[in-house]
Amino acid sequence: MITMGIDLGAKNVKVVILKDNKIVAKSNVLAGFEVKENAQKAIDIALKQAGISKDDLDKVVSTGAGEKLAPFYDETKSIVGCDSLGAVYLHPAARSVIDVGAEEGRGMRCDNTGKIIDFEVNEKCAAGAGAFTEAMSRALEVSLEELGPLALKSTQDIPMNAQCTVFAESEVVTMVHNKVSKADMSKAIHDAMASRISSMIRKIGFDKDVVLVGGVAKNIGFVTSLNKDLGLEVVVPKDPEYVGALGAALAAAGWKGGA
Amino acid sequence: MEQQAKYKTEKLKCWDEAKQIRMKYYQDYAEAHERGGIRWAGGAWTFDAIPAGLGDDVYPITSEPYSATVAFDKEFSLQCLEATEKKGYPRDLCSYMRNYWGSIITNKFAFGYKDGQFTPRFAGAKPLGFPKPDFIWQDHICCSHAKWYQTVSDLEGGIPMFTVDNAVGPANELTDSKIKYVVEQLKDGIKFLEKVTGRDYNDELLFKAIRNHFVSTSKWAEICEQNKAIPAPLDEKTIYSLYVLGTLQKAGKQVAYFYEKVLLPEVKERVKKGIAAVPNERFRVMSDTQPPWSFLSIFRYLETFGCISVGSLYTFGLIGQWEVKKDGTWGAKTIPDVEFSSRDQALYEYVKYELHKPEWQHFYSCHLKSDMMIRIAREWKLNGVMLHYNRGCEGLTVGIAENRLALLDAGFPVMAFEGNNADEREFDEARTKAKINAFMETLGAR
Amino acid sequence: MIEQFKEWEKNRHEYAKQWKENTRGKVMGYFCTYVPEELLYAAGVLPVRILGSHEPQDVTEPHIFAMFCPFCRDCLAQGLKNRYTYLDGLMIAQSCLHIRQAYTSWIKHRPVEFEKFLCMPHKVQSPHAYEFLTEEYKVFKKEVENWTGKEITDKALDDAINVYNENRRLMKKLYDLRKRDNPPLTGEEVMEVVIANQMTDKAEHNKELKKLITTLEKHTPEREVGSRLMILGSEDDDTVFMNMVEKCGATFVVDDHCTGSRYFWNEVKPGKDRLSSLAARYVDRIPCPSKDWEERKRIPHILQMCKDWRVNGVIIMQQKFCDPHELDFVAIKKALEDAGYPTLFLEFDVTVPVGQFKIRVEAFLEMIGEEDLF
């Protein structure tokens, strides 16, 4: 059985193709303004990679903020459902999943089949999402890729008081005036963001097997702060940004846990 | 996604009558002066049987339902909210209050005349100016209650105002001293009313109004009790349009009559015949706090999954009065079997009864509310609960996060969504629907 | 001069633990200044006010929805982070809905031996509030007696009232010194004294206060006074903010905060019986806005303060989401401006960084200082 999952996120379109529940192709394209065209592009890349055509697909599930904008699909499934499905597939012990994307943070608890038991979404707030690190990297004048590793060089804890992206920017300005090192500022930024996310996760509760997915999972500075805050080591799967699309493809295949 | 109909359904027969009662209420208020009558303003929880003793031509306007009417009219609501902000009032205050103030500041009523017919503004009427009340008769349990009208009085250049403090503690700790504190205030209030209106107070009218109050609140609970049935005869969206009558004038005879003689028999009949509000009912949930009034469509969205909201502590307990019956379940409060012989005695009975209002208990402790919600979830046979984390109402949202934890502990899945009852700028419809989608997966409805 | 007070305020938990060890007595945490501390003090219980710690925190989200004030969440965080494990009791008197949630969540998730929601009436302007509150006190007194296992005698109550009244008189004397052209203490320093007052044994505080007042009577500080400011609004124990403003060329000479003058302004007046006198004190005190209706009685009080302390400008500190104050500040601002007192409105959070406020404060001081310049 060949299935495809499409995850139309706020910033990127991710596509995963499964053959008998094994990943055979994946692609990631910026969503931009022409979401539909770019989604098609992502699909084409993945199909090519898998060496199949659209007609070979048995079922397609679309998910994410723009799920209805996929050029074609058989069904939609919520992103929280897809995330937990994908996380349980990659890490069968996972019962708590955190997804930090460009504009939204999500937390969920699920059972061994990847079915959601409870979930929470960090709404309308960029301070707990990828957009925050983007804004902060601009304020610090370092690239987004450098921002995370920079935090690891920090030598002191500086609490970041502002809980909002706009105010945080001006707080960074104050820190610059106070000659705080960029490494310490970077850590302060990641601590503040981790605090947002752990606050959300505490609301639904978590156990020891926490899987972190979404693009921001690749940010080592954030992961370090989050681990410290939660008092555990979160599991970051390889290619964390594809987990939603993977879950969608698994849902299309009717996968419910197990091999 | 659309589910097969499992049950028969039909429209509520008394629907139009309920609508007429509501429209006449606002018309009576607006036109009171033309007929030499009196009009007054106060909250939906105020002791409205008291001003009734001033005569049969005394017409109230209650603030919360009026503001919900404004909120329903998105364009007008935005004008009101912005006018209030312009005056310097913060945006995070009670959104009902801000709509209400805005209606005064813009001097526009949500109703007017269209071809000589009294009609809502959104239905094409040219709005009247805001009809200024002769006096304010308010109660206070939420921090915003008395302060709401303090500001109304400021905005209107001073209106005589009397507020009764009814925050005397939970019903399970009621004492004689607590009841008397409220009674004494009501007696002072009567003197105040006589003074500002120049009228003599009529105790017989008071007694009748208290009777009406008993009937309205007890019968409303009995109506809600019918919704324990599967399929539920009423859905929450319909309940909103019916319970509102109690928020307008619970001590009014038209409301008492409608609940007891019209609506209750019809709902009972529906249960007997198995008539469902939602023909594809498969999953039952309840909500909490006021809904985002301009997005009631989310309830229709639920129905596409075969999911019905059968009510809430808010709709059941804001007007309804309840008691624990012999078998341990919740049922309508028994109407006190007393003859009224004096003003003091009638007021005492009135206060003693009213202080049991379920929606007043959580002001003292969220845990009391959790217990009631779990009770409803069990007795109304629910699959889950949707909690509206309502930024527009601190009074009903107080303690809601603890309610969530308690419901989860009791084994009920909970979906929490943020919004605002009367400021649509704070409600994200697309995100909420996405949340519902995920919640339906949790319930197994998808 | 104020080192001892500062020491108490900074090490509040150590103080309470030490007090417990020395006296073998019970410690009662309380929210909101409507709690009749005299009754507890008479029972040999140390009342300590629960305040926040001004750190960012992420433990209260499951318990209090984010639309409620940061202060109530900060207070609850102290409980959840186990900083008050030495408390034997926890109580609140009915005031605003926000802080009530800190109490209700706390007693569920960090249970204590004795808990109490005291039904302080809202309509303090009603003549019936006195009797009602007296009755509530009677019940409360019995509950405390049952808890501690000993009777609260008339003498103990008289002594407690005397200690508290003495404290109030001394505090007022301290505030009176600030009327001088060159106030002997800054607003920041006074804030330390008042906050320490809410978490220490009053007898001990009195002793230290007397010493302080004696010293201050002949003390003239070197610093520039600058503009004379009043600060008013929500709960505010943000010494960092006070420090920042007073470094910009200004001095806070008076305040209307529950963490300031409102806490101690009114004395218990001897009357027909002790509990009624006590009740009258709490009914008649300068009100929290949540109880200031139908008339706004705080306004004339604030204007009088401005006059007596010769204030040049007023900073209105509005705790984010604090509805009772939000419902008053428009009227207060208008009254102040009509009376010729310029105002600066600031919305603060328990963790707001000073950097952003500094610019606004500087501009405000420049504005009100203009007359002196030209």
For strands B38-42 and B135-140, give the pairing.
parallel
Asked, for residue C218, whether it belongs to a domain, the answer is no
Contacts C55 to A, Cβ<8 Å: 159
Write down the pLDDT at residue A138: 86
Q: Are C46 and C147 in contact (CB under 8 A)?
A: no
Q: Are B80 and B107 in contact (CB under 8 A)?
A: no
Mutate to test the interface with C, among B89, B398, B421, B427 (most CBs of C within 10 A): B398
Q: What angle do CA C211, C217, C220 make, to 5 degrees?
A: 120
Contacts B408 to A, Cβ<8 Å: 118
User: Are residues A211 and A253 located together in one domain of the fold?
Assistant: no
Asked, for residue C39, whether it belongs to a domain, the answer is yes
Confidence of residue C371 (pLDDT cuts 50, 70, 90): low
**Would the CB atoms of C97 and B177 count as touching at under 8 Å?**
no
Q: Is A156 on the interface with C (CB under 8 A)?
A: no
Write down the pLDDT at residue C354: 77
Q: What pLDDT digit, counting tens, does each position of B422-439 carry?
A: 999 889 898 899 899 999
**Would the CB atoms of C352 and A159 count as touching at under 8 Å?**
no
User: Are residues A68 and A179 located together in one domain of the fold?
Assistant: no
Contacts B437 to A, Cβ<8 Å: 76, 78
Asked, for residue C64, whether it belongs to a domain, the answer is yes
Of B418, B431, B442, the CB nearest to A117: B442
Q: Are B353 and B252 in contact (CB under 8 A)?
A: no
Q: What angle do CA A200, C73, B388 make, to 5 degrees?
A: 55
Percent share of chain A, pLDDT over 90: 63
Of C117, C128, C324, the CB nearest to B184: C128
User: Are residues A37 and A104 located together in one domain of the fold?
Assistant: no
Phi, psi (degrees; rounded to nearest 5) at A234: -75, 150
User: Are residues A6 and A32 located together in one domain of the fold?
Assistant: yes
Write down the pLDDT at residue C358: 87
Confidence check: pLDDT of B20 > 70: yes
Residue of A nearest to C70 (CA): A163
Amino acid at B356: H
Of A65, A80, A123, the CB nearest to B418: A123
Distance from CA of B434 to the nearest CA of C (A): 21
Give the residue-averaged pLDDT of B101-113. 97
Which long-range contacts does B12-20 make (Cβ < 8 Å, 24+ apart)?
Answer: B12/B234, B12/B238, B12/B266, B13/B266, B14/B258, B14/B262, B14/B263, B14/B266, B15/B241, B17/B258, B17/B262, B18/B241, B18/B242, B18/B245, B18/B258, B18/B263, B19/B241
User: Are residues A85 and A97 located together in one domain of the fold?
Assistant: no
**Would the CB atoms of C56 and A161 count as touching at under 8 Å?**
yes
Mutate to test the interface with A, among B437, B439, B443, B446 (most CBs of A within 10 A): B437
Phi, psi (degrees; rounded to nearest 5) at C251: -135, 130
Confidence check: pLDDT of A137 > 80: yes
Contacts A203 to B, Cβ<8 Å: 401
Write down the pLDDT at residue A160: 78
Q: What pLDDT digit, counting tens, does each position of A213-241 carry?
A: 998 999 999 999 999 999 999 999 999 99
Asked, for residue C140, whether it belongs to a domain, the answer is yes
CATH number at residue C133: 3.40.50.11890
Residue of C nearest to B150 (CA): C294
Distance from CA of B310 to the nearest CA of A (A): 22
Q: What tokens were used for B185? A: 């205030």
* Pick from A34, A32, A71, A85: nearest CA to A246: A85
User: Are residues A68 and A100 located together in one domain of the fold?
Assistant: no
Sequence-ordered list of residues with C-beta below 8 angstroms from that of C111, at least 6 positions apart, any chain: none
Alpha-carbon dihedral sign for residues C170, C171, C173, C174: positive
Task: Indicate left, alpha or beta for A199 from its phi (over 0: left) and psi (-120 to 50: alpha).
Answer: alpha
How many separate domains does chain A show? 2
**Would the CB atoms of B441 and A76 count as touching at under 8 Å?**
no
Q: Is A80 on the interface with B (CB under 8 A)?
A: yes
**Would the CB atoms of B389 and C67 count as touching at under 8 Å?**
yes
Task: Indicate left, alpha or beta for A239 from its phi (over 0: left) and psi (-120 to 50: alpha).
Answer: left
User: Are residues A145 and A259 located together in one domain of the fold?
Assistant: no
Amino acid at A51: G
Q: What pLDDT digit, counting tens, does each position of B299-339 carry?
A: 999 999 999 999 999 999 999 999 999 999 999 999 999 99
**Residue in this structure with the two tokens 């309502």, named with its chain if needed:** B390
Sequence-ordered list of residues with C-beta below 8 angstroms from that of B298, at least 6 positions apart, any chain: B291, B292, B429, B432, B433, B436
**Would the CB atoms of A170 and C59 count as touching at under 8 Å?**
no
C 321-350 → B contacts, CB under 8 A: 321, 323-324, 326-328, 330-331, 333
Q: What pLDDT digit, counting tens, does each position of B373-417 carry?
A: 999 999 999 999 999 999 999 999 999 999 999 999 999 999 999
Mutate to test the interface with C, among B94, B98, B150 (most CBs of C within 10 A): B150
Domain that holds residue C69: 14-153
Of B89, B367, B391, the CB nearest to C330: B89
Residue of A nearest to B433 (CA): A78
Mutate to test the interface with B, among C59, C96, C122 (most CBs of B within 10 A): C122
A 33-52 → B contacts, CB under 8 A: none
Q: What is the pTM of this model?
A: 0.92
Tell whether omega for the bond before B233 is within 30 degrees of 0, i.e. cis: no
**Would the CB atoms of A121 and B442 count as touching at under 8 Å?**
no
Exposed, middle or buried, B29 (CB in 10 Å: 0-12/13-18/19+)? buried
User: Are residues A120 and A199 located together in one domain of the fold?
Assistant: yes
How many separate domains does chain C show? 1
> What does the DSSP assignment read for A25-85?
EEEEEE--S-HHHHHHHHHHHHHHHHT--GGG-SEEEEESTTGGGSSS-SEE--HHHHHHH
User: Are residues A106 and A219 located together in one domain of the fold?
Assistant: yes
For strands A105-110 and A96-100, give the pairing.
antiparallel
C 80-99 → B contacts, CB under 8 A: 94, 96-98
**Would the CB atoms of C294 and B161 count as touching at under 8 Å?**
yes
Q: What angle do CA A54, A56, A62 make, to 5 degrees?
A: 55
Write down the pLDDT at residue B324: 98
Confidence of residue A163 (pLDDT cuts 50, 70, 90): low
Mutate to test the interface with B, among C234, C327, C347 (most CBs of B within 10 A): C327
Contacts A79 to B, Cβ<8 Å: 434, 438
Q: Which chains touch B (3 or more CB pairs under 8 A)?
A: A, C
* Pick from C229, C239, C218, C216: nearest CA to C368: C229
Confidence of residue A125 (pLDDT cuts 50, 70, 90): low
**Would the CB atoms of C121 and B168 count as touching at under 8 Å?**
yes
Distance CA C12, CA C204 (A): 14
Q: Are B333 and B353 in contact (CB under 8 A)?
A: yes
- Helix H or strand E encompassing A153: none
Q: What pLDDT digit, counting tens, does each position of C98-151 carry?
A: 999 999 999 999 999 999 999 999 999 999 999 999 999 999 999 999 999 999
Domain that holds residue A252: 1-91+241-259
- Helix H or strand E encompassing B386: strand B384-390
- The better pLDDT of the pair A165, A158 is held by A158
Confidence of residue C374 (pLDDT cuts 50, 70, 90): very low
Residue of A nearest to C56 (CA): A161
Distances (CA, A) of B284 to B292, B347, B380: 20, 40, 8
Percent share of chain B, pLDDT over 90: 96
Contacts A118 to C, Cβ<8 Å: none
| Model ipTM value | 0.96
Quick check: helix, strand or coil at residue B360? helix
Contacts B413 to A, Cβ<8 Å: 117-118
Distance CA A20, CA C18 (A): 68
* Neighbour order of strands in the sheet with A105-110: A116-122, A105-110, A96-100, A210-213
User: Are residues A171 and A245 located together in one domain of the fold?
Assistant: no
The least confident of A141-155, B66-80, B418-432, C354-368 is C354-368
Confidence of residue C373 (pLDDT cuts 50, 70, 90): very low
Mutate to test the interface with A, among C55, C58, C244, C362 (most CBs of A within 10 A): C58
Asked, for residue C326, whether it belongs to a domain, the answer is no
Amino acid at B433: K
C304-338 burial, b if ≥16 CB within 10 A, otherwise e? ebbeebebbbbbbbbbbbbbbbbbbbbbbbebbee
Distance from CA of C254 to the nearest CA of A (A): 28
Distance CA C331, CA A207 (A): 50
Other beta carbons less than 10 A from residue B55's beta carbon: 16
Of A76, A79, A123, the CB nearest to B428: A123
Write down the pLDDT at residue A123: 63
Asked, for residue C43, whether it belongs to a domain, the answer is yes
A150-173 burial, b if ≥16 CB within 10 A, otherwise e? bbeebeeebebbbbebebbbebbe
CATH number at residue A249: 3.30.420.40
**Would the CB atoms of A163 and C351 count as touching at under 8 Å?**
yes
Confidence of residue A166 (pLDDT cuts 50, 70, 90): low
Residue of A nearest to C60 (CA): A199
For strands C27-31 and C89-93, give the pairing.
parallel
**Would the CB atoms of A124 and B428 count as touching at under 8 Å?**
yes
User: Are residues A69 and A103 located together in one domain of the fold?
Assistant: no
Confidence of residue A258 (pLDDT cuts 50, 70, 90): confident
User: Are residues A98 and A210 located together in one domain of the fold?
Assistant: yes
Asked, for residue C27, whether it belongs to a domain, the answer is yes
Confidence check: pLDDT of B87 > 50: yes
